Structure 1
Amino acid sequence: MIEAAVHLAAQPRLDTLVTELHTESRRLRTDYAGVAWIGDRPAAGSGMAGPDYTRRAVDAVLFLPDTHWYDVDTLDDVEVQVTAGLLQVAPTARQSQGLVGALAEPTVDFFEHPEGEPGVGLCLQLRGEIWSNLGVSYRVSVLCRREALLRVGDTDTEDGADTDTEADVDVDGQVSAA
């Protein structure tokens, strides 16, 4: 079984109320951002991930660590935008960049709460095949009616602990939280 670890590190979530240009209705805009480290996390001192040149499949469906929980019945006019960019390719032993492989276009979808609580949350899907460790920055913007929000998502704790989530993802897309 081929697998690659995926580690999500969220940035602060931004929640704003916006007015639509054409309808002048008030809507909730939430921006989620962070980094998905695929393979190993980078070293704290150098910022570089190790040169693990092994062909690995990536098919990760991961809840955003700070996702809000939404009422699925009021998401009929929701608009979602996702962007992602490659941050790092680990260097080879000769200090050149290694092979990347390929990652398909990232997608975002709403999934039911994993513990059966009411509402749906956002999941980021990354899939492809990689040859080295890499980082992918992501930004997801959600625009919806204010009443669609059931519960506010988690944020950083006061003691400075982060909201990293980690999962091992196998070639079939099965996710197990670590």
Structure 2
Amino acid sequence: MIEAAVHLAAQPRLDTLVTEWRSETQRLRTDYAGTAWLGDRPADDTGLAGPDYTRRGVDVQLFLPDTHWYAVDALDDVEIQVTGGLVQVAATARQTQGLVGALAAPTVDFFEHPDGEPGVGICLSLRGEIWSNLGLSYRVSVLCRPDAVLRSGGRVDDEPADDEPAAGD
């Protein structure tokens, strides 16, 4: 169910090879970050989202556009952190703070490739009820064995052209 449009604006993915201090085992740390715009996207000239005060449900799973594709059987010791923070709530016509509603804590799951290719990718889940346009920043950190990555995800480019669907549309 999605009554509010969700537009994902991802930042470049960061991949780092790290060494665990106790075991000295090498692990791949991948950081995915960006903003999920719920409702309307912000205006290019002001950076502000419009004051659309309609009560809308949000229950959506969004593939991160630059996700790596992981081997399921190699994720037995994977560690994941996900954080989210509100970055914008649209102002009312009287220039006062608008209503937010509620968003449950963002969660992350692994989902199969939508085209049936091998591996699973990272999917950000958002649910709740909003009363205005919102911006939610997210960061997902994945720590796994390097051999868990079947193939590297694509790099994030600029916003899609007007005739291309955005992630989550």
C-alpha separation in 2, matches of 1:162 and 1:131:
26
| 5+ residue gaps, structure 1 | 168-177
Bigger share in strand: 1
C-alpha separation in 1, matches of 2:69 and 2:98:
39
- Give 1:117 deviation, angstroms: 0.3
Does structure 2 conserve the Cα–Cα contact (< 8 Å) formed by 1:29 and 1:144? yes
Does structure 2 conserve the Cα–Cα contact (< 8 Å) formed by 1:27 and 1:145? yes
C-alpha separation in 2, matches of 1:48 and 1:162:
17
**What is the TM-score of this pair, normalised by structure 2?**
0.94
Q: State the partner residue of 1:115.
A: 115
Alpha-carbon RMSD: 1.4
Aligned ranges for residues 68-107 of structure 1 at < 5 Å?
68-107=68-107
| 5+ residue gaps, structure 2 | none
C-alpha separation in 1, matches of 2:2 and 2:16:
41
- Give 1:2 deviation, angstroms: 6.5
Aligned ranges for residues 6-155 of structure 1 at < 5 Å?
6-155=6-155
- 2:163 matched to 1:166? no
Does structure 2 conserve the Cα–Cα contact (< 8 Å) formed by 1:5 and 1:166? no
Does structure 2 conserve the Cα–Cα contact (< 8 Å) formed by 1:89 and 1:132? yes
Identity %: 75
Does structure 1 conserve the Cα–Cα contact (< 8 Å) formed by 2:2 and 2:60? no
Does structure 2 conserve the Cα–Cα contact (< 8 Å) formed by 1:15 and 1:29? yes
Find runs of 4+ consecutive structure 1 residues off by over 2 angstroms: 161-167
C-alpha separation in 2, matches of 1:99 and 1:116:
41
